[in-house]
Structure 1
Amino acid sequence: MAAETRRQEGAAAAACPPLHVVVFPWLAFGHMIPFLELSKRLARRGHAVTFVTTPGNAARLLGAAATPPHLLRVATLALPEVEGLPGGAESTADVPPEKVGLLKKAFDGLAAPFADLVAESCSGDGDGAAAGFSRKADFIIHDFAHNWIWPIAEEHEIPCAVFLILPAAIIAFLGSREANEAHPRSTVEDYMVAPPWIDFPTTISHRRHEAIAVAAAFQPNDSGVSDMDRFWEMQHRPCCRLIVLRSCPEAEPRLFPLLTNMMARPVVPSGLLLPGGEVAAVDEDDDVDVVRWLDSQPRRSVMYVALGSEAPVTASHVRELAVGLELSGARFLWALRRPVAGDDAGGEVVVLPDGFEERVSGRGVVATGWVPQVRVLGHGAVGAFVTHCGWGSTVESLFRFGLPLVMLPFVADQGLIARAMAARGVGVEVPRDEDDGTFRGEDVAAAVRKVMEEEEGQEMARRAMEMREVVGDRRKQEEYLDELVECLQSCR
């Protein structure tokens, strides 16, 4: 499979003249990682890629990674200080949710240094001539937050593509500025149903606690600008030639034509940017304790539990999840991080129920350090996944490895993903209080048992593997990358 992928990449590179692409993600690891993966794949296809981020994020993204392709360089811009933003904070992982607006304010301060970087490239100065970096960029691929990038691109006559790492469903739910002006949403209830511009049957809807968070995206934050205004700015900029989604029609039927019409420009898939290669039987992760523990467990017997790096998990959520895992009787591996909010969130140690780890000893492991998630998801002992339904985690677990899901969504697109996956019969969503999003351990236990033990769970596992075969088809996913390159070539 790796040889076939390299052959396809080589053929694509030879079929068109090489590009110089500047790639610039928002400062969240859920954004930076897929942006970097896209950059690597473009570089392997023979295109020069300048990946832009801050020094600290560059070190964390690349410090322990394998040597990147020779056509990929990293350009770092120092994040300016902002009052109230913790020192050294360079990503959303470094700040609590209430400080993200300040991070966006600091991010806006990168406009001037980024303009200098682009001007230097356009002038032919710099040290990247041998690899083609010193010539003017053919495209800037950037994130939703870069509402200040348009004048820079227009000054140098560089076309742009907005790359969104979210599923098409949330973009369709949010809609265009014109759609929202024609059908204004003024109450929380308005965000709990599918908007009128989605004119076909759909699972796209939010619970009340999710709708409250989505409505906040339409209001200015500490940066002085709302997230939606940042995004909508591209609709009025002719240099925005494309919107690219980390998705594909097999994963989200009917939405790409709807979005292309709504946004008045091509909305194209990048494919899912699936984790590369088969999971090796022996690699550098084999000395990780959790992998050794999995090696000793029966096939498909373990529930992997991880709620992402940035979901607003509280201490109460942790306790109820622990109660549920204990009551379920299932084997589990729990990648646990410290909560960001809650009655004991400010402490240094997460407080699990008294005696929890002793009572589950032998069948359950709580890992508070680094866990190699893709390696774990691909391990033969793992049979299902308790997840917050972030798009990246859904891609890795369901589309890459065909694992059925126990779903605990929190914010943004996660609820929409959970509804869609439940409708497709590949997972079960844990019931939650409609208003505040709380859940009970008993309901977690019931969901885990349904997926891991009951006949319905066997059917979910079968459907999940069928979805993997269709959505996770690697040949088709590579074709989406090739088609994206063709779009960039034709639009430059």
Structure 2
Amino acid sequence: MEAAPTAAAGGAAEDGLEVVVFPWLAFGHMIPFLELSKRLAARGNAVTFVSTPRNLARLPPVPAHLSAGLRFVPLQLPPVEGLPEDAESTADVPADKIELLKKAMDGLAAPLAAFLADAVAAGRRPDWIVVDFCHHWVPPIADQHEVPCALFQILHAAFVAFLGPRWANAAHPRTEPEHFTVPPKWIPLPSTTFFLRHEADWIAGTLRANASDVSDAERTWQVFERCRLVICRSCHELEPRMFALLSDLLRKPAVPSGILLPLPEAPDDHRQSGSGGVARHQVLRWLDDQPPKSVIYVALGGEAPLTPENIHELALGLELGGVRFLWVLGKPAGSKKVAGPLPAGFEERTRARGVVCTGWVPQMKALAHGATGAFLTHCGWGSTIESFAFGLPLVMLPFIIDTPMIARAMAWRGIGVQVARDENDGSFDRDGVAVAVRRVMVEDEGKVFATNTMKLKELVVVEGRQEQYIHQLEEHLRPYKDV
């Protein structure tokens, strides 16, 4: 593989690309866009990451050696009636306000157009703009300056194929939730790309206009149609036949970026101790005292719609499971209060073998710790990818969007089990949690899951192979340079 060129201060290397990236206002999107940006910058390309001021301030720090090739440009989000004044990401609003956030984001069209015009006037016309699913208005702006757009889907390719382009949906209409409970006719492969009935309401809702005045399906279809390239956060090892199918379906190249596993956290990500050194996070110190592979790490992301009943049953299920646990229980999106309350007496009864953490936890370090034996997860694609890095079997409790489909795919691979749910309403109970936890952590079946997970790690988490995906992506981007 070719050595990556080094970026000159303040821009691209001599033959490097000028790339603008513009993610949707959700950290589950911004972080993968940032990982892609860092990989491109490390290879001598100049990357401009565009978002709002408060979002940029909350991103993790960029390694110093990449700072010359990666700059951040803030665009001020316009006010929208009904949207909290300081809301700039989905983490800042409850689920029923997300469509208003899209409406505010649409108001960034004029500032983005001005930024692009200024860049062109200054002699820094981008070679590409990398957009997200919702940016249907960016390609027409880019076309005015003859700048091509690429769509970066932070999703696995199978889900992108499940969504399908406009022409496929017109040929095989899906209008009701029941229509999404079977794989679409345009996916001829044996597939786990379907929803159960209780999971399908949200995707049927993407066909309807919302408070932003544009349906999510219409946004996605327009971006499919106007972009010249589609990039998915995946790889051929995970989805060996899907990229060829997706390219045919979208009638343009669909290529993998690789899994973009986050780089190890820097030591200064942690709080300073009183002596001026870097303090080891308290949960890592707690893990230090636990036996090897004895702890299940529990984290359901920042935007899973957990109800008080969900939290109650999950807590009692962890108690019934009888294993050590580290549970990261954060604040629901748009709330200043930690989710809860926990069942009365739960923390006292489980204090000897469990910890509930309501603050920030260095997830990659916790997953990598030798005491961690499994991961109870909502199966967000980012979290699932992180589990690959450390060969951890999964207990899966998916909620929204693509997570149920990911959970089914991972169960099919034999790397974990789903918590049993009611077929009608999707509810789960403490007994289902306890059974799933024990299957993975206690019973002999858990050894099979662990073996399968290590095989998947050996197949996928190969640094040279993943770097090759970035090299191949560059080769797709380069023909458009200075055209």
So what's the TM-score if we normalise by structure 2? 0.93
Per-residue Cα deviation, 1:423-482 (whole angstroms, up to 9, x for no partner): 010010111122322101100000000000111111100100100010111111000001
Partner of 2:48: 50
**SS of equivalent residue, structure 1 residue 298:** coil
Alignment RMSD: 2.2
Aligned to 2:94: 96
Is 1:164–2:153 an aligned residue pair? yes
Aligned to 2:4: 9
CA distance in 2, matches of 1:433, 1:260: 37
The offset of 1:196, in angstroms, is 0.8
Aligned counterpart in structure 1 of residue 203 of structure 2, from 214, 231, 234:
214
Which of 280, 291, 294 matches 2:287? 294
1:234 to 217, 223, 229: 223
Aligned to 2:368: 378
Distance in 2 (alpha carbons) for counterparts of 1:348 and 1:488: 44
Match of residue 357 from structure 1: 347
Stretches of structure 2 lacking an aligned partner (at least 5 in a row): 272-277
Shift of 1:278: 9.4
Q: How does 1:15-164 map to 2 (within 5 A)?
A: 17-62=15-60, 66-67=63-64, 68-124=66-122, 134-164=123-153
Farther-moved stretch of structure 1 (102-111 vs 146-155): 146-155
Alignment-derived partner of residue 435 in structure 1: 424
How many Å separate the matches in 1 of 2:209 and 2:53?
Answer: 28
* Cα contact 1:12–1:482 (8 A) shared by 2: no
Q: Deviations over 1:312-338 (max 9, x none)?
A: 111111111001000000100000023
Structure 1 CA distance, aligned partners of 2:165 and 2:203?
A: 15
Q: Aligned pair in 2 of structure 1 residues 348, 415: CA closer, same or farther (>3 Å)?
A: closer
SS in 2 for 1:369: coil
| Partners of 1:72 and 1:347 in 2: CA distance | 35
Q: 3-state DSSP class of the match of 1:257?
A: helix
1:308-387 equivalent positions in 2, closer than 5 A: 308-339=301-332, 350-387=340-377
Distance 1:37 1:347, change over 3 A: closer
Equivalent position to 1:267, from 254, 262, 269: 254
Distance 1:349 1:247, change over 3 A: closer
Paired residue for 1:187? 176
Q: Which moved more, 1:99-108 or 1:482-491?
A: 482-491
Shift in Å at residue 236 of structure 1?
3.3
2:232 alignment partner in structure 1: 245
> Given the alignment, which residue of 381, 399, 413 partners 1:424?
413
**Displacement of 1:37 after TM fit?**
1.1
**How many aligned residue pairs are there?**
470
8 Å CA contact 1:302–1:382 kept in 2: the answer is yes
CA-CA distance at 1:15 after TM superposition: 11
| CA apart distance, 1:411 | 0.9
- Residue 347 of structure 1 deviates from its aligned partner by 6.3
Residue matched to 1:305: 298
Q: Tell whether the 8 Å contact from 1:315 to 1:339 is kept in structure 2 after alignment.
A: no
Q: Is the 8 A contact 1:313 1:340 kept in 2?
A: no
1:257 and 2:244 equivalent? Answer: yes
- On the 8 A contact 1:101/1:223 being kept in 2, the answer is yes
Once the two structures are TM-superposed, the CA of residue 349 in structure 1 deviates from its matched residue by 6.2
* Alignment correspondent of 2:378: 388
Q: What SS does structure 2 have at the residue aligned with 1:203?
A: coil
Amino acid paired to 1:459: V
CA distance in structure 2 between the partners assigned to 1:169 and 1:440 by the alignment: 30
Matched to 2:89, the amino acid is: S
Alpha-carbon distance in 1 for matches of 2:113, 2:429: 50
Tell me if 1:173 matches 2:162: yes
Give the deviation of 1:381 after TM superposition. 0.5
* Contact 1:10–1:45 (8 Å) recurs in 2: yes
- Asked if the contact 1:26–1:145 (Cα under 8 Å) also holds between the matched residues in 2, the reply is yes
Amino acid at match of 2:246: L
Q: 1:170 to 1:45 in 2, by over 3 A?
A: same
For structure 1, the 5+ residue unaligned runs are 125-133
Which amino acid in structure 1 is aligned with residue 320 of structure 2? L
Structure-1 separation of matches of 2:279 and 2:336: 34
Which of 180, 185, 190 is 1:196 aligned to? 185
Tell me the distance in 1 between the aligned counterparts of 2:432 and 2:225: 47
Distance 2:55 2:295 in 1: 33
Decide whether the 8 Å contact of 1:314 with 1:340 is kept in 2: no
The answer to whether the Cα contact below 8 Å between 2:373 and 2:392 also exists between their aligned partners in 1 is yes
Distance 2:331 2:256 in 1: 35
Return closer, same or farther for 1:60/1:169 CA change in 2, 3 Å cut-off: same
Contact 2:232 2:257 in 1 (8 A): yes
